[in-house]
């Protein structure tokens, strides 16, 4: 197993739009929270997804997701998304992410998200930008 890089935590709040009639977060919205945390990780490390698409015709793509649910988040909960990243190859990484209730650290959801970097024209894997690869060498 390769060493993991710990990202800064991502914080968000549960709003009405995230919930059902009873104020419980829809299961699919946890995917959004995880995605936002991954996107914020790239932004904080000066790795622009729009630059990758427009300048190099490259994209970060989700290859697989495995989620486990433990507890429900509800309306007005403050959430913490923690992320650790393991570089599997120069073009593939796994994000180990957890959603916690920020008030009491209750584990709500845990996921493993495999992300690859590809050339959009060929659809084939391509090495991640050097800025991302350097993070794992520190």
Question: How far apart are the C-alpha atoms of 33 and 10, rounded to whole Å?
Answer: 9
Catalytic residue chosen out of the listed positions 18, 20, 51, 105: 20
d(CA 37, CA 30): 11
Q: Is 77 in the active site?
A: no
Question: Can you spell out the DSSP letters for 93-125?
Answer: EEEEEEEEETTT--EEEEEEEEEEEEETTT--B
Q: Which residues are designated catalytic?
A: 20
């Amino acid at each position: 197993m390769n060493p993991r890089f710990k990202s800064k935590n991502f914080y968000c709040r549960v709003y009405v739009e995230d919930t059902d009639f009873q104020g419980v977060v829809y299961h699919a919205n946890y995917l959004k929270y995880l995605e936002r945390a991954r996107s914020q990780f790239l932004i904080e490390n000066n790795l622009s997804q729009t630059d990758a698409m427009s300048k190099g015709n490259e994209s970060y793509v989700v290859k697989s997701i495995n989620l486990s649910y433990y507890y429900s988040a509800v309306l007005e909960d403050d959430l913490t998304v923690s992320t650790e990243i393991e570089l599997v190859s120069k073009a593939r990484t796994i994000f180990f992410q957890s959603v916690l209730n920020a008030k009491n650290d209750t584990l709500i959801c845990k996921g493993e998200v495999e992300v690859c970097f590809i050339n959009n024209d060929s659809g084939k894997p391509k090495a991640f930008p050097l800025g991302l690869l350097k993070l794992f060498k520190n």
